Amino acid sequence: MASIAAPGHAISVNRSHRRLNSTTTVTSATIKSKLPTFSSSQNPKPYNSNIFASKTLHNVIKNSTAVTVGLYALSSGVSHVLLNGNGGGGFGGSGGGGGGGDGDGFWSRIFSPAAIAGEEESSEWDSHGLPANIVVQLNKLSGFKKYKVSDILFFDRRRRSTVGTEDSFFEMLSLRPGGVYTKAQLQKELETLATSGMFEKVDLDAKTNPDGTVGVTISFLESTWQSADKFRCINVGLMPQSKLIEMDADMTEKEKLEYFRSQEKDYRRRIERSRPCLLPVSVQREILLMLKEHGAVSARLLQKIRDKVQQWYHYNGYACAQVVNFGNLNTKEVVCEVVEGDITQMVIQFQDKLGNVCEGNTQYPVVRREMPKQLRQGQVFNIEAGKQALRNINSLALFSNIEVNPRPDEKNEGGIIVEIKLKELEQKSAEVSTEWSIVPGRGGRPTLASIQPGGTVSFEHRNLHGLNRSVLGSVTTSNFLNPQDDLAFKLEYVHPYLDGVCNSRNRTLRASCFNSRKLSPVFTGGPGVDEVPPIWVDRAGLKANITENFTRQSKFTYGLVMEEITTRDESSHISARGQRVLPSGGISVDGPPTTLSETGIDRMAFLQANITRDNTKFVNGTIVGERNVFQLDQGLGVGSKFPFFNRHQLTMTRFVQLKQVEEGAGKAPPPVLILHGHYGGCVGDLPSYDAFTLGGPYSVRGYNMGEIGAARNIVELAVELRIPVRNTHVYAFVEHGSDLGTSKDVKGNPTEVYRRMGHGSSYGAGVKLGLVRAEYAVDHNSGTGAIFFRFGERF
Amino acid sequence: MLDVVIIYLVSMASQIIREWAGIQQFPAATQSKLLELLGKLKQENVSTLTILVMGKGGVGKSSTVNSIIGERAVAVSAFQSETPRPVMVSRSRAGFTLNVIDTPGLVEGGYVNNQALDLIKKFLLNKTIDVLLYVDRLDAYRVDNLDKQIVKAITDSFGKEIWRRGIVVLTHAQLSPPDGLTYDEFTSRRSEALLKIVRMAARIRKQEIQAASIPVVLVENSGRCNKNESDEKILPSGTAWIPNLVQTITDAVLSGSKGILVDQKLIEGPNPNNRGKVLIPVILAFQYFFVVKRIQKWIKNDIARESRPSWS
């Protein structure tokens, strides 16, 4: 009985506890692939009905009276092969008992010999105690001695030569040079070889060495069958194994003939019933070529074919696929029987912290909808689909540990049960983080007043009703003693699967209440203008939107925003107009109005929509593809001064791959040309905080935020060329931004008041260093260049 | 806010219309000429004349105003700006009212002073400008981009129509021209250069030049100005310039064009926030059907074209 422990490919993910409101969520995803462990015991009987124990990945039952069943274990451990003769009569190897050495039928049996070696190796060994350089037959060796094997040779009797260590026969052998073995072990080894079906005849001799060790020579005669000119590969997964009628030892010749004939018929029927396999024609043709080249079909050739077929399957991710049998030998056609690993069931299992199976809070459809189609029942298990499932489930951010595990189906031979083990994250979490801020005052010493306790309080309630709905909130302040100074809050409710968890339409409702504070780039000076007193734009409001995901990157969001906008000066006083520094040094507060209502506080409600089409993908780490974004804010005439407007932006970015490259890890990325255009425009009421600004790292590089101008309609154009260098890239760019003469259409004309040009170009070059871009950009308006360091990507 | 209050106070104060006493100060020849011109205006039913004086700082706007009125109506000083905000000087004589508005210089730190311009605009609210005097110096040899900017700023503020009532005034007219040029050559070249800029910035098209020629008047405000036998201030060419200036103003007023009424709309220009508002529903529909729908179609194509991984 050989038993092979589940060579399962367990895929799992460990997720560290997620921090709320932290953008740098530390997620470690590991995909484990456990190496299978093998334990095998010698098969005592040459005639065996069940060669795989219940734990095996595939149960392949071969029942035969007159044949030897053998099993090979590959070093990879995943596959086992069963060689099958064309239905009886013949006998393979010496274990076949019933003669017919030229074997027109052949059942082979494969063992995993690896286990024998390791455990019984010991450092102590006995000298053979015989004169040196004599050849001793195996049965002449002493049963009480432990022999040390110095080297192992395979001797091909047909070719009258020894074969090299690279020969596939060495894989079958558990003996290793330098190992210590008893006579019984050596006999077992020989038996294993003899019953493998690979050999018609095999002997083991020991040659004594002067230092007390022995050299082992295995002389063999390889099994061969008549040459074939056809090859067929069939999927026998989930098929009941052909039941073979016991062949009575005292059958007459006629009965035997009938028996063989019926077996042949059975086999033909089996082939007919089998499903087509995934193996592409090109590989089949290659194999056919191999067959033709070799002429006679030998055991070694079958091994090669098996390797080739399995290699294709494993390379393409079908990790559970195995060649289980070669049938129809000694006919014109070689039939390769493959169990591809059909999925019979998908099981979702929740585990508690200790790893015990428990009832989960998450509803099953939530997990099930993340499964790729390829993991559904009836599909062939593919490790890539498993990985995809793992990634998809991981993106739910509901589980701390995810394992996708193919397990052999015990009730269904050759079937695979995909087992998904999930450890749920804590549903509720709260976090407090604090920080002290100390600002050096005059003379460089911090004053007592500048020491402020700040921090964030956040809570999250995840996975409400097990449907991945969540409520999360956070409050951040830089000063707990005076939180009204600077208080950022956010409360958000997320409701995914708006159309029902079983509906394939993926819409998510988000409702939030927020505030934010930003420095307005509208109130920025042009080149050569002394500092313009800054204006802060505070927004606080409610937002509800629905996001429909079409693909992972393309989505459509639409919703309603109601907000109050307050504009403040440096000292947090509400300011209705921008300020400017007079040449005399004084500050005048008669700049452009900051709000529509001209009071410094605006309230408005508007509809917001954003459609993003993004088909970019990574080619060897470089982004290639196209991204188009259209964003629309439609005022409803509700709010201060009844704001009615249509503010729209269209962004088009193309990443053009300039050279076809081979994809794969470690391969060089292609050079990429980036074409980028951005149009922004507004019809109707336009408060200055909603004006489009030009200049800045995401607008026209080489300028400060808003340095070129603030306008009603803008257009930005950029071209960038990225050339890969080593494992990063260098780039050169040209950018231009223009207000299209619409700066004057913003009330108060902030572009002119702060003496900005309204249009500007820049060019430059840079290099990407990890996350940082280091670039030299020349601004065309002043003609001067500067080096910038920026985080993240421009496009 | 304080600024605004003060402006109102000042403008209220200057609303008190005084008797034009300064006219007595002029030499008899000038007086008779002025009275003749006023009579001519009255004949045409013009009983009020509002003159707006604008230009760079320190070119002699206030002095010109004083010269026209014939008294020291606005403060002048040689080295600093004495006019931080617009001032209107009103004088009446025999049922005729003359308003002269002096304004602060339009240049500050090498740029057009928008703030000053705003002040002027606010000051002029609900007034009708009959004549604009654009003042510059005759003895400045070059015109530059800044001049153009100023003219442009005036045009943008009051519309190009104002140049139909515009007169270019060149002060410091009593000078000795540079070597090799006669006085007349110099003045004509200088005024031509300035007019060119004005025409360009005022967006007066070539075919309009004839119809809307802007007159140029030379002025010498200095007390050392040469005088003729009847004690009138004269230019090196021999013309008495005050009667000449008033004559030109009268001609401009009587040329048939209309005075510029400065109202809220003119000051603020068309409200860009209202432009195209009616079209918003149409724009929205366009965006939905031709932009959003188009992108949705692209996404659909993407999904259809998405290359399947080998294992699916």
Measure the CA–CA gap between A396 and A497, rounded to whole angstroms.
12
Q: What is the pLDDT of residue B285?
A: 96
Residue A368, SS3 per DSSP? helix
Distance between CA atoms of B201 and A237, rounded to whole angstroms?
88
Q: Summarize pLDDT for B70-118 with one digit per residue, the tens.
A: 888 888 877 777 677 888 888 888 788 889 999 888 887 777 777 788 8
Whether residue A554 and residue B309 make contact (CB cut-off 8 A), yes or no, is: no
Mutate to test the interface with B, among A646, A652, A690, A742 (most CBs of B within 10 A): A646
A-B interface: how many C-beta pairs under 8 angstroms?
A: 90
Q: Looking at the predicted structure, is the pLDDT value of residue A400 above 60?
A: yes
The gap from C-alpha B63 to its chain's centroid, in whole angstroms, comes to: 16
pLDDT at A245: 58
Among the listed residues B91, B90, B162, B80, the one whose alpha carbon sits nearest the alpha carbon of residue B121: B162
CB contact under 8 A, A646 and B306: no
> Rounded to an integer, what distance in angstroms lies between the CA atom of residue A601 and that of residue B64?
46
H or E element that contains A126: none
Residue type, A465: H
Tell me if A630 and B291 make a contact (CB, 8 A cut-off): yes
* pLDDT bucket at A246, cuts 50 / 70 / 90: low
**pLDDT score, position A607:** 96
Cα(A383)–Cα(A78) distance, integer angstroms: 13
B141: enclosing H helix or E strand: none
- Residue B202: which of B270, B251, B239, B148 has the closest Cα? B148
B260 vs A447: CA distance, rounded Å: 61
State the pLDDT at residue B211: 63
**Confidence at A101, pLDDT banded by 50, 70, 90:** very low
Rounded to an integer, the average pLDDT of B5-19 is 55
Helical H runs in A661-786?
Answer: 750-753
Check CB contact under 8 Å for A554 and B302: yes
> Is A563's pLDDT higher than 60?
yes
- The answer on pLDDT for A458 being more than 70 is yes
pLDDT at A486 exceeding the cut of 80: no
Between A197 and B74, the more confident residue is B74
pTM over 0.90: no
Separation CA B55–CA B135 (nearest Å):
5
- Nearest by CB: A630 against B275, B295, B310: B295
Averaging pLDDT over each range in A373-382, A629-638, B202-211, which range is the top one? A629-638
Q: What is the mean pLDDT of residues A505-534?
A: 89
- In the prediction, which pLDDT does A442 show? 67
Higher pLDDT, A643 or B73: A643
Report the alpha-carbon distance of residue A566 to residue A540 in Å, rounded: 9
Residue of B nearest to A616 (CA): B302
Contact assignment for A632 to B287 by CB distance below 8 Å: yes
Element (H, E) at A365: helix A364-368
Q: Do A609 and B284 touch (CB under 8 A)?
A: no
**The pLDDT of residue A241:** 64
* Residues in contact with A745: Cβ distance below 8 Å, sequence separation at least 6, in sequence order: A686, A711, A712, A713, B272, B275
* pLDDT of amino acid A159: 77
Interface of B with A in 27-66 (CB under 8 A): none
Give the H or E element holding residue A471: strand A469-477
d(CA A473, CA A432): 12
Q: How confident is the model at residue B311, as a pLDDT?
A: 55
**Residue B216 class from Cβ within 10 Å (0-12 exposed, 13-18 middle, 19+ buried)?**
buried
Question: How would residue B38 be classed by pLDDT, with cut points 50, 70 and 90?
Answer: confident
Is the Cβ of B296 closer than 8 Å to some Cβ of chain A? yes
- Has residue A600 got a pLDDT over 80? yes
Least confident of A34-48, A163-177, B267-281: A34-48
CB A231 within 8 A of CB A333: yes
Identify all chain A residues contacting B272, using CB atoms and an 8 Å cutoff. Answer: 686, 712, 744-747
Cβ neighbours of B310 in A, within 8 Å: 316-317, 384
pLDDT at A262: 83
Per-residue pLDDT averaged across A356-369, rounded? 90
d(CA B196, CA B213): 11
d(CA A235, CA A239): 9
Lookup: tokens for B232:
């009138």
Contacts of B205 (CB under 8 A, 6+ apart): none
Q: Give me the pLDDT at residue A64, please.
A: 29
Chain-centre distance of CA B54, in angstroms? 5
Alpha carbons A383 and A10: distance in angstroms, whole number: 10
H or E element, residue B299: helix B293-305
Q: Of A353-362, B16-25, B48-57, which gets the smallest average pLDDT?
A: B16-25
pLDDT at A545: 96
Q: Comparing A349-353, B72-76, B211-215, which segment has the lowest mean pLDDT?
A: B211-215
Q: Tell me which chain B residues have a C-beta less than 8 angstroms from the C-beta of A376.
A: none
Does residue A651 carry a pLDDT above 90?
Answer: yes
For residue A609, the chain B residues in CB contact (below 8 A) are 292
Q: What average pLDDT score do residues A626-649 get?
A: 94
**What is the Cα–Cα distance from A156 to A223, expressed in whole angstroms?**
11
Q: Is the pLDDT of residue A713 over 80?
A: yes
DSSP code for A286: H
Tokens of B87: 């001032």
C-alpha span between A762 and B10 (Å, rounded): 49
Mean per-residue pLDDT, B12-24: 70
Strands B216-218, B166-171: pairing is parallel
Distance, CA of A265 to CA of A253 (rounded, Å):
18
Dihedral over Cα of B159, B160, B164, B170: its sign: positive
Q: How many CA atoms lie within 13 A of A213 on its CB side?
A: 14
B147 has pLDDT over 80:
yes
Q: Is the pLDDT of residue A61 over 60?
A: no
Read off the tokens for A531.
Answer: 């500092």
Pairing between strand A146-156 and A180-182? antiparallel
Amino acid at site A794: R
For residues B41-75, one letter each, b for 16 or more C-beta atoms within 10 angstroms of the residue's C-beta and e for the rest, the string is beeeebeebbbbbbbbeebbbbbbbbbbbbbebbe
CB contact under 8 A, B292 and A630: yes
Q: Is B284 on the interface with A (CB under 8 A)?
A: yes
Alpha-carbon distance A337 to A271, whole Å?
Answer: 9
| Interface pTM, i.e. ipTM | 0.72
Which residue does chain A place closest to B113, by CA atoms? A753
Beta pairing class for A199-208 and A275-276: unpaired
State mean pLDDT over B51-80.
Answer: 85
Answer whether B111 touches A (CB < 8 Å).
Answer: yes
Nearest beta carbon to residue A611 from set B114, B283, B296: B296
Q: Looking at mean pLDDT, say which of A153-162, A626-635, A661-670 comes out highest.
A: A626-635
CA distance B255 to B249: 10
Q: Does pLDDT of B239 surpass 80?
A: yes
Tell me: pLDDT of B299 over 90: yes
- Whether pLDDT at B212 is above 70: no
- A331-348 pLDDT tens trace: 778 888 888 888 888 899
- Per-residue pLDDT at A49: 28
Residue A742: pLDDT over 80:
yes
What does DSSP assign to residue A662?
-
Arithmetic mean of pLDDT over chain A: 79
pLDDT of A242:
58
Confidence of residue B179 (pLDDT cuts 50, 70, 90): confident
Which strands make up the sheet holding A70-73, listed edge to edge? Answer: A80-81, A70-73, A109-111
Closest Cβ opposite residue B309 in set A384, A596, A755: A384
Residue for token pair 């206030």: B62
- Nearest CA to CA, how far is A338 from chain B (Å)? 17
Of the two residues A464 and A77, the one the predictor is more confident about is: A464
Residue A307, both tokens: 């390797």
Q: Please report the pLDDT score of residue A28 as a whole number.
A: 29
Check CB contact of A262 with chain B, cutoff 8 Å.
no
* Closest chain A C-alpha to B270 CA, distance in angstroms: 9
- The reported pLDDT for the residue numbered A121 is 45
Is the pLDDT reported for residue A243 higher than 90? no
What pLDDT shows up at residue A117? 41
- Note the pLDDT of residue A93: 32
Cβ–Cβ < 8 Å for B38, B92: no
Per-residue model confidence (pLDDT) at position A708 = 93
Q: Please name the residues in contact with A549: beta carbons below 8 A apart, sequence gap of 6 or more.
A: A506, A507, A508, A555
Q: CB neighbours of B210 closer than 8 A, spacing ≥ 6?
A: none
- pLDDT band at residue A123 using 50, 70 and 90 as cut-offs: low
Range B57-82 average pLDDT: 82
Lowest mean pLDDT among A50-54, A211-215, A413-417, A645-649: A50-54
Instruction: For residue B219, give both structure tokens.
Output: 């002025």
Distance CA A193, CA A113 (A): 10
Q: Tell me the average pLDDT across A290-318.
A: 85
User: Across the interface, do A317 and B310 touch by the CB < 8 Å criterion?
Assistant: yes
Per-residue pLDDT tens digits for A565-595: 999 988 888 999 888 777 677 777 878 899 9
A551 touches chain B (CB under 8 A): yes
